[in-house]
């Protein structure tokens, strides 16, 4: 289950899929990117960041991988007693999150990250496709009432209802 097509999330997908009976799930927008081995949006590189990222992007690329299932908002996957796909654009145009209502667990992808103090931080800056959309997506996530949030980067956050930055 791929939340978005950034290299750090799909770089090993080809290896995993071709060594077992793995099926790839993601949104239609991200599926187009995964199947062509690219990201679904350009990074907004400024200043000195242009050079190292530019060099890395020349030499490090994800291999194209066939996506088996394209998720839309509300799809329920038959795993863990029902894992719900939630469209949460902003970090990327087709970013999705995955919600496990029976356990109150949200897999937030990169629209949220956490720090070592357990704070949740909204995606922003050069790697965010559209900051207004990511804020709307965080508000949507807050309405799910997840007790535990597993961000794409950083430690798992428990008691997440009180820690979601919904007034941003």
- CATH number for the domain spanning 138: value is 3.60.15.10
Percent pLDDT > 70 in the chain is 89
The answer to whether the beta carbons of residues 65 and 35 sit under 8 Å apart is: yes
95 lies in some domain: yes
Domain interval for residue 54: 7-59
167 lies in some domain: no
| Residues 51 and 110 placed together within one structural domain of the fold | no
For the ranges 2-11, 35-44, 106-115, the lowest mean pLDDT is seen at: 35-44
Residue identified by tokens 């949200």 is 106
The answer to whether the beta carbons of residues 97 and 106 sit under 8 Å apart is: yes
CA distance 99 to 89: 15
The per-residue pLDDT for range 85-135, each reduced to its tens digit, is 999 999 999 999 999 999 999 999 999 999 999 899 999 988 899 999 999
CA distance 3 to 108: 8
66 lies in some domain: no
CA distances from residue 155 to 26, 70, 100, 118, 119 in whole angstroms, order as listed: 23, 28, 18, 7, 9
| Residues 83 and 38 placed together within one structural domain of the fold | no
The pTM for the full model equals 0.89
The per-residue pLDDT for range 131-159, each reduced to its tens digit, is 999 999 999 999 999 999 999 999 999 99
Q: How confident is the model at residue 168 (pLDDT cuts 50, 70, 90)?
A: very low
147 lies in some domain: yes
């Amino acid at each position: 289950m791929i939340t978005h097509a950034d290299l750090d999330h799909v770089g090993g997908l080809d290896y995993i899929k071709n060594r077992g009976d793995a099926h790839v799930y993601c949104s239609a927008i991200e599926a187009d990117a995964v199947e062509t081995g690219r990201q679904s949006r350009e990074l907004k590189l400024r200043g000195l960041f242009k050079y190292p990222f530019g060099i890395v992007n020349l030499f490090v690329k994800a291999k194209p991988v066939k996506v088996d299932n394209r998720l839309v908002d509300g799809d329920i996957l038959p795993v863990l007693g029902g894992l719900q796909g939630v469209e949460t654009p902003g970090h990327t145009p087709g970013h999705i999150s995955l919600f496990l209502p029976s356990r109150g667990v949200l897999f937030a992808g990169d629209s949220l990250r956490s720090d070592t103090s357990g704070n949740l931080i909204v995606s922003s800056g050069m790697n965010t496709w559209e900051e207004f959309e990511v804020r709307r997506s965080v508000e949507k996530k807050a309405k799910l009432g997840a007790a535990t949030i597993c961000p794409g980067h950083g430690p798992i956050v428990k008691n997440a209802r009180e820690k979601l930055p919904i007034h941003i």
